[in-house]
Structure 1
């Protein structure tokens, strides 16, 4: 509306890099002030379990094995059900490590899964009397290292959960083998608790009773399906690692490609930024990084409505003289002291407004005031507009100042006071940097 040329895509980069470096060093120095809460708490207030806790509770320590299939093994090309590994060796195959897209992933297995050379079997050896050396010799398997944190490291591909039968389930009294749990749900039951005590050894032939708690292992997606669609089971407990599990992590290369493409299109200046973003979103859907339902749920409608409402509100301030009134007040306070003080006042105003509304809405509201202030002082509007952009982005003082702050509030177990203690001093530092650096990059 003002007829001025806009900023380029990388106009803010030099200032942003300085603030980034400053922020890293600031957090390294001030991190001792962030105490948070000890441990992860479930909704009922109890401490949530980890993979390590579940393995210990169900007496599974030392039972897991990683065995690589050598070329020439009789297992190559054979189906899991045909090999009868559980009956012959007490070996329950709960997953297979296999190369896929330049990295090893853990693939779910069921009765019809066929094995390949160099597959690495993840096995639960429930029978203590089995000769592992004999098993590996007969099937041409090579033992691989299994570190203590293996399951935590593989939390993207393999999950655990505690489940129980509902009271009117038709499966009560049947064994795991009889209900074909692995075939029906693509999950493995590796542990069972009865009357609060874990049963040792294999549980596949144990008749399930009401009140039994089973530990299932498998893909997170299958666990979610069991919780959502399972008519006989209810999921009682999900470990902490579920927070780190991404439902579509295998699509990460496609998502990165879409991001790079969007930035490249924005840099060409041939395609408007909103169109470039829409193209990237459509490609995300094409590559199945996200579905339509998730994309719709990701839209934060209150923010959109607030921003759309702020645009006519800012225009109304201009038409009614509200902007001139604010600018006159700023001129009375800082007009005679030079543009640097005016930049500082604009920064403080943006930061104060950002305590109550989103940073984007703050920028929309303050931009006309900054341009009018520059015009009144007879200087370039670019440093004033950039200060508004940076001040609106420096929303560090409260959890509600920015959606990003709200996003990390829960996972980081931060409190409102944490944002105040850390955010207020850092906002002042950013203000000093911006007021001194922006006029160097965008002269008055």
Structure 2
């Protein structure tokens, strides 16, 4: 083992450890990897910066803008509203999955889920159906729809770019389609069965203002007339049959030690966790009121105010910031009354909690504030379901431009990146999008992640580390033939994707897949397809893919629900990949 190989393995191990631990955002880890590769001189400056100029990175950024054109113009809303009129549960689920898969083949799947999510919830509730029977299928359909085309996911574009950098043939825009459609069909059939027998029935919200899913953390103020005054924390909810727990007591900007033993005083703020209806019952019983983050909202006209649930979307500008630092109440003219997060390890005042993807904020807000939030790509309004309608002209232009981009690239008249850039320019010139909307639509975290991990693939190939890992894999399973090797590549990518970013897992495995193909004297395409499909279809955990995280919070699922429904689907896709990939992409070079 050469020194460069050893250093590359150390950087790789450190990157995987940081990606898995989630102590830092993936894009920050990617930039640290880039800095380490430069510092250790494992790549040249030009190679280190090649990720920023890579066709994959530029195309992904452009596709975010093209997706925003459809989203902001209302094209997706019209599709969502059409399927939301279906009254039969099985037909609603079937049409929803097929339409979501078709849309996700051409636009960013998180954008599709963000638009369809509130519409599907509203349709389910209107027909007295539990939303929990629909939202996991919505997320999964967005994922397996994305593998049908080269532009369906950023992972497909990343795999294509890394293959071309290594001197191998890339993929055409519809080269995945035949195989991808088979995955869509089998995945849809499985989910139609699973939604009946495996998906939980979490009930139907009875009212828009009281059907809040999951458990919230809320901050309540002890008034002068509160019956909580003088009681110990452990005595606040004697014989409580509900699901309410006292987490902390805040007094004069400080946390009271041992909250269960401390006596409550007027002016204290109580941090409670529990189901929202139980929290409201406890609030009324103890004569508490919601702590107001922004005092100037006290005098607002209460007419027309509603309760609404708003989710922090993937790529949101709110991620990592607190309500206080954002001045959220002033910005949106809304009061935050509760925060729903599955990992409820919250021990600080609500306005000091850094927001994360999938957080659901329970708001008291006027209708005008909800319209402002619907226009913000960083938020998904779940509670009040009415969608903003826009002009037919903008919708048709957005759809026409995307169709033209795909057609020109598919015909070979222009590269995908060139067609996508021209399409973005047309959206701006025709005023389908404003420049500010286009810039805000790009998830710069994904762009930085791609730019940072691409040089890691270069280092793995240059140093010989990828070849060494390939030789190790061949020694282990090479004797069983190329199909067994393909299975190992697929399973390895699938496992890594469950615990770290899908793009990061692809960046790690692609150089190994290419080196393995070269060592066996085989075409690299079947192995690259295995990486692309495995990294883009991650079902077994709610944190492995952004669309999973979105529906996880919205429906109030439990972690085990994803394991129960998603793990069998992962196994089905593994078997399908092993059988079908060699038939559509032969091993012979």
CA distance in 2, matches of 1:303, 1:335: 35
SS in 2 for 1:354: helix
Judge conservation of contact 2:456–2:507 (CA < 8 Å) in 1: no
Larger-gyration structure (1/2) = 1
Alignment of 1:261-276 (within 5 A): 261-276=404-419
Contact 1:310–1:364 at 8 Å: present in 2 too?
yes
CA drift of 1:168 comes to 5.3
Specify which of 189, 200, 204 is matched with residue 35 of structure 1.
200
Q: Report the TM-score when normalising by structure 2.
A: 0.42
Change (3 A) 1:408 1:214: closer
- State the distance in 2 between where 1:325 and 1:42 align: 60
- Aligned with residue 376 of structure 1, among 519, 530, 548: 519
Q: Distance in 1 between matches of 2:552 and 2:170?
A: 34
Specify which of 33, 39, 47 is matched with residue 211 of structure 2. Answer: 47
**Preserved CA contact (<8 Å) 1:266 1:272:** yes
- Work out whether residues 374 and 381 of structure 1, in 8 Å CA contact, stay in contact via their aligned partners in 2: yes
CA distance in 1, matches of 2:386, 2:451: 34
Matches of 1:298 and 1:42, distance apart in 2 = 33
Residues 288 and 47 of structure 1, relative CA distance in 2, 3 Å threshold = farther
Structure 1 CA distance for aligned equivalents of residues 206 and 503 of structure 2: 33
Shift of 1:436: 0.9
SS at match of 2:499: coil
CA distance in 1, matches of 2:383, 2:391: 14
Identify which of 179, 189, 192 aligns with 1:25: 189
Query: Retained in 2: the 8 A contact 1:34–1:414?
Result: no
Match of 2:489 in 1: 346
Distance 1:234 1:377 in 2: 62
Please give the secondary structure, in 2, of the residue aligned with 1:347.
Answer: helix
| Aligned-residue offset at 1:284 | 2.8
Q: For residues 486 and 403 of structure 2, what CA distance do their matches in structure 1 show?
A: 34
Report SS of the residue matched to 2:498: coil
Count of residue correspondences: 276
Distance 1:214 1:389, change over 3 A: closer
- The TM-score, its normalising length taken from structure 1, stands at 0.55
Deviation at 1:313, TM superposition (A): 1.1
Answer whether contact 2:305 2:366 (CA < 8 A) is retained.
Answer: no
Q: Secondary structure of the equivalent of 2:175?
A: coil
Aligned CA RMSD, in angstroms, stands at 3.5
More strand by share: 1
Q: Does 1:308 align with 2:308?
A: no
Say whether 1:394 aligns with 2:559: no
**Per-residue Cα deviation, 1:375-415 (whole angstroms, up to 9, x for no partner):** 11122222111111111122222233333333444444444
Q: CA 1:2/1:312 → structure 2, altered by over 3 Å: closer, same or farther? A: closer
- Would you say the 8 A contact 1:380–1:443 is kept in 2? yes
SS in 1 for 2:573: helix
- 8 Å Cα contact 2:333/2:365 also seen in 1: no
Which string of whole-angstrom CA distances, capped at 9 and with x for unpartnered residues, describes residues 120-170 of structure 1? xxxxxxxxxxxxxxxxxxxxxxxxxxxxxxxxxxxxxxxxxxxxx97657x
Residue 174 of structure 2 is matched in structure 1 by: 10
What displacement does 1:267 show? 1.0
- Given the alignment of the two structures, is residue 441 of structure 1 paired with residue 584 of structure 2, yes or no? yes
Verify: 1:258 aligned to 2:401, yes or no. Answer: yes
Preserved CA contact (<8 Å) 1:303 1:358: no
Unaligned runs of 5+ in 2: 1-164, 213-295, 307-330, 335-363, 371-380
- Mapped partners of 2:557, 2:421: distance in 1: 34
Counterparts of 1:428 and 1:249 in 2: how far apart (Å)?
A: 44
Counterparts of 1:288-327 in structure 2, within 5 Å, are 288-327=431-470
Corresponding position of 2:366: 235
**Greater shift in the superposed pair: 3-12 or 32-41:** 32-41
1:245 is the counterpart of 2:417: no
For residues 241 and 252 of structure 1, what CA distance do their matches in structure 2 show? 25
In 2, distance between residues paired with 1:343 and 1:408? 32
Please state how far the C-alpha of 1:4 moved relative to its aligned partner: 2.4
Q: Does 1:277 align with 2:420?
A: yes
1: CA distance, partners of 2:405 / 2:556: 33
* Structure 1 residues without counterparts, runs of 5 or longer: 49-164, 170-209, 217-226
Q: Structure 1 residue 371: deviation in Å?
A: 1.1
Aligned counterpart, 1:404: 547
- 1:184 maps to what in 2? none
Quick one: distance in 2 between partners of 1:412 and 1:244? 19
After superposition, give the CA deviation of every residue in 1:249-308 in whole Å (9 maximum; x if it has no partner). Answer: 743222211221111121122222122222222333344443333332322222222221
Ranked by relative contact order (alpha carbons within 8 Å, sequence separation 6 or more), the top structure is 2
